[in-house]
Structure formats: C-alpha cells, structure tokens
Amino acid sequence: MKPLICQSCGFPFSEAARGTNRDHSKNSEYCIDCYKEGEFTDHHLTLHEMERRLLMMAREHNEISLEEAQQIIKTLPDLKRWKMTNIL
Ligand SMILES: [Zn+2]
C-alpha cells in the first residue's frame, strides 16, 4: 500500500490519521490535523502560511529537518488544496 499524502500539509499519514468527512467516514486525501468532519481545521490557512509553518516545525521544534521541510514545500503547489491558489 502506498503511503497517503495529505493534500493540504503535504505530510505522509497513516490510515489511522485520516481526516473525517461530515458523515464521519474517513477521508483519504487529508490528514486529521487538516481536515475534520468535512471542513478544513484552519479555513484561513494560505499556501504561504503553510510554508511558514513547515519552516517553523523544522527550525524551532525540530519535528522535521530543514531539508524535509523544503522538500514538502516544493510539493505544496501541486496538492489539491493549493492548486487553485497557485493559479490566481
Ligand atoms: Zn494535513
């Protein structure tokens, strides 16, 4: 099985960490941190803000390496949530 990649934050996530739809079924496109009960947990999040968060996770919290963060940032514009933003 190929790992699921969240179409909002770009992180790989497990079956158990899938987001939920409004009817409480699982959503395989978004992780639970980004998507709960049919809505994004942070409506006002922008692509730019997501990049900033990733860099912060790397620099301040050491949750991921800076290289990993930059790798994920490169993939963000291709993710479903940000594709439209990118065109505008
Ligand atoms: Zn996510």
Two structure tokens written together for 21: 């739809």
Two structure tokens written together for 18: 């899938």
CB 2 within 8 A of CB 10: no
CB 85 within 8 A of CB 46: yes
| pLDDT (mean) for 19-48 | 96
Q: At residue 88, does pLDDT exceed 90?
A: no
What is the 56 CA–ligand 1 centroid distance (Å)?
16
Helix (H, G, I), strand (E, B) or coil at 36: strand
CA end-to-end span of the chain? 35
85: which residues sit within 8 A by CB, 6+ positions away?
A: 46, 47
More confident residue, 63 or 6: 6
> Residue 57: its pLDDT value, please?
93
> Residue 29: its pLDDT value, please?
97
What is the 6 CA–ligand 1 centroid distance (Å)?
5
pLDDT, one tens digit per residue, over 34-78 is 999 999 999 999 999 999 999 999 999 988 999 999 999 999 999
What is the 61 CA–ligand 1 centroid distance (Å)?
17
What is the 71 CA–ligand 1 centroid distance (Å)?
15
